[in-house]
Amino acid sequence: MIRRNTKIIATISNLNCSQEFIKGLFWAGMNVVRLNTAHMTHDDALQVIKNIRQVAIKIGILLDTKGPEIRTCDNDKPLFVKYGDIIKIKGAPEERSKGDVICVSYEQFVKDVPMGSSILIDDGYIALAVMEKTDEYLICYVENDGVINARKSINIPSVHVKLPALSEKDKGFIRFAADHRLDFIAHSFVRNKNDVIAVQKILDEKKSTIKIIAKIENLDGVQNLNEILDHAYGVMIARGDLAVEIPTEQIPLIQKKIVKTCIEKRRPVIVATQMLHSMIESPRPTRAEVSDVANACLDRVDALMLSGETANGKYPEVAVRTMAKIAKEVEDKKSSYVNVPYSIDNTITAYLAKAAVKASLRLETKGIVADSFSGRSIRALAAYRGDSPIYAQVYNRQVMRQLSLSFGVFADYVQMDVNSIKPLKKAVSRLVEEKCFKDDDLIIVLAGSFGMRHGASYIEISTAQNFKKRQT
């Protein structure tokens, strides 16, 4: 396995989820598995979850909700359209599309979409213009040749539709995730803080500590980023729908701005959509895709995501390994350090975290070892994107898996001990045995003297051998 700071999320379907397959992706460099509930039942998801947990307890599991989206309904057969055709769109979630009538999953679609609007189907593959409107239909002019298939996404740029934050299917899957102690909920089409709060309310009812990743894929999400980050654990930049809602040429700078904001706020940030898209069919990526992945690594994102490349592609393991190699090449050639401002939360830990990372850069240490109960101090270290790996010793298995999404963090579960020095001493010995560093290598320890729940209170710098010899 290539050890790198930038993490990799791979989408896995129940149609291809054997333990051998998951193990291959894991050793190729996968850190987190994504389950796309748009195409799954609870039983489908459970099949994947069981196999993941048989392979490795460190693999994080991210469940992706459908969110407030609109899709085309099922049909008897696809509708082939040509430039200049006239078709009808109807808000009828319980009906099937037939002939030149396309039914969509939002009942109030005709009411909410005004005349003159542009309707984009399947991430913009088909563009329609609304020419007329009746009580039942939108009469639309087809602007390009193509095929309209079932269950494809629908976007209406600059039009605000009044969809609820959560569908009944979403609610069921969030409860399912809580019952099975998954690690992340990636909520789709987050528009504002209320969409995140709606998910958190269900998690609170279930007394779940699952973390919410807000998927930013519309203009509202971009404009309301700061309030969203006040309530979400992290963010996924879902560029597919985002590039349909917002002019494509604006996406690169929006991506960079979101990444910078997330790093400053100590929130994990993921870049997704078509990163190695050609590898669904080809064993090699395009030069543009390699540059796209490398550029995200240069921005210091926490994680990169593969979708169809691993869910239904011909070369899933090769795609993960390729992404890992690109990330490793960037990290080896360019320092990752980001001099972000101190966090206003827990100022002692924030100060010590920055001091530890800056010391690691100046002294060229081989690692930072830190223990944590909640993961907060570990994320504080990760925010500075130092070059030394962060070996987190975590007293909660779920937190260990949640840190699989954080830049430069390699987390292990350790048994809780009243004396905070003992587990760190054992950890250093184990890390030497695992060849993470050598006895005579300089390392940094970030820990606390007043119990694990009180956070960090000191940093200490010495050789691994000296930490191993410590008696107290």
Where helices occur in 316-463 by DSSP H, the ranges are 316-333, 347-363, 376-382, 397-402, 421-433
Reduced to 3 states (helix: H, G, I; strand: E, B; else coil), residue 40 is coil
> Which of these is catalytic: 4, 6, 7, 34?
34
Q: Give yes or no: 273 in active site.
A: yes
The residue annotated as part of the active site, out of 6, 11, 37, 273, is 273
Select which of 66, 215, 239, 300 is catalytic.
Answer: 215
Q: Is 215 a catalytic residue?
A: yes
* 34 labelled catalytic: yes
* 176: nearest Cα among 47, 321, 311: 47
| 201-236 burial: b if 16+ Cβ within 10 Å, else e | ebbeeeebebbbbbbbbbbbbbebbeebbebbbbbb
Q: Contact 272/299 with Cβ under 8 angstroms?
A: no
Q: Which helix (H) or strand (E) holds 265?
A: none
> Looking up tokens 């790996």, which residue turns up?
389
User: To which H or E segment does residue 42 belong?
Assistant: helix 42-55
Gap between the Cα atoms of 89 and 101, Å rounded? 6
Catalytic pick from 4, 7, 71, 321? 71
Q: What is the DSSP letter of 39?
A: G
What contacts 338, CB < 8 A, 6 or more positions away?
Answer: 263, 300, 383, 384, 385
HSE-CB of 311 using CA atoms within 13 angstroms: 19
Task: For residue 244, give the 3-state DSSP assignment.
Answer: helix
Phi-psi region of 182 (alpha: psi -120 to 50; beta: other; left: phi over 0): beta
The sign of the torsion formed by the CA atoms of 223, 385, 378, 275 equals positive
Q: Which residues are catalytic?
A: 34, 71, 215, 273
